[in-house]
Amino acid sequence: MTDAPQPRPTRFRTGGLSPRKPTRFSYRPDAQNRAALAADLGLLGLAALDLTGEIRPSGHDELVLEARLTARADQPCSVTLVPVPARIDEPVRRRYVAGYQVPEGDEVEMPEDDTVEPMPEMIDLAEIAAEALALGLPLYPRAPGVDFARTLHAGDGVAPLSDAEVKPFSALQGLAEQLKAKGKAEPDTEE
C-alpha cells in the first residue's frame, strides 16, 4: 500500500488555527482551476499561480495573513488584442479582526490600514489569490511597439473632428497667443 500525497488545504477555519504559532501554506491551483480563473478575469492564459505565506495570530482575536503572489499570465493587448505576457510578484497582506465592523453610510472615511477585514469563519486561499491577481495585473496592457495612434472617424460626406476642434477652449489659446504677439510688436507709449 502506497501513501498518496495529501492535498494541501485551500481553506482554513479561523477557529481551528493555532492561537500561538503560524500556519504556513502554499496554494498552487491545477491547470483546470487556473483556466477557470483566467476565464473569470478575461485572461488569455494563466500559466502559473502561486500564493505562499502564513497565517499567524496577532494580539487578541486577530489573525494576520502575509504571503507572496507570483503568477505568469497572458492578457489581451488593450489596442490590438494580441497576447501580452505579464509577470506578477506582489506581497499580499490581510489583517482579520474579530468584531470589526465595516463602516457603512453615504460618506465613509477610508481607514488608515486598508488590509483590515472582519474575521471570517473560513479563510479561502483561492479567493485571496484571485483578488490579489486581479489587483496586480496591468489595467491596460499594450504589446511592445503599440501606441495609441490618433484616429479620426466620421460618416460618409462628413469631415471628422480633430482633437483641437473637440476641445472648446482651443480657440481661446490661439487668441491668447495672438494678443501676446501683438503686445510684443507694439511699443509701450505710456509716459
Domain borders along the chain are 11-136
Predicted confidence at residue 115, as pLDDT, reads: 75
What Å distances lie between residue 168 and 41, 152, 162, 165, 177, CA to CA?
Answer: 38, 18, 12, 7, 16
At 110, give phi and psi (nearest 5°). Answer: -70, 135
Q: Write out the three cell numbers for 145.
A: 511597439
Q: For every one of its 191 residues, what pLDDT tens digit does the chain have, with 9 covering 90 and above?
A: 455 454 677 888 888 888 889 999 999 999 999 999 999 999 999 999 999 999 999 888 899 999 999 999 999 998 888 999 999 999 999 998 887 766 676 776 666 666 777 788 999 999 999 999 999 999 999 888 877 665 556 677 777 766 666 676 767 777 888 888 887 665 555 55
Q: What stretches of 52-147 show up as alpha helix (H) in DSSP?
A: 125-136
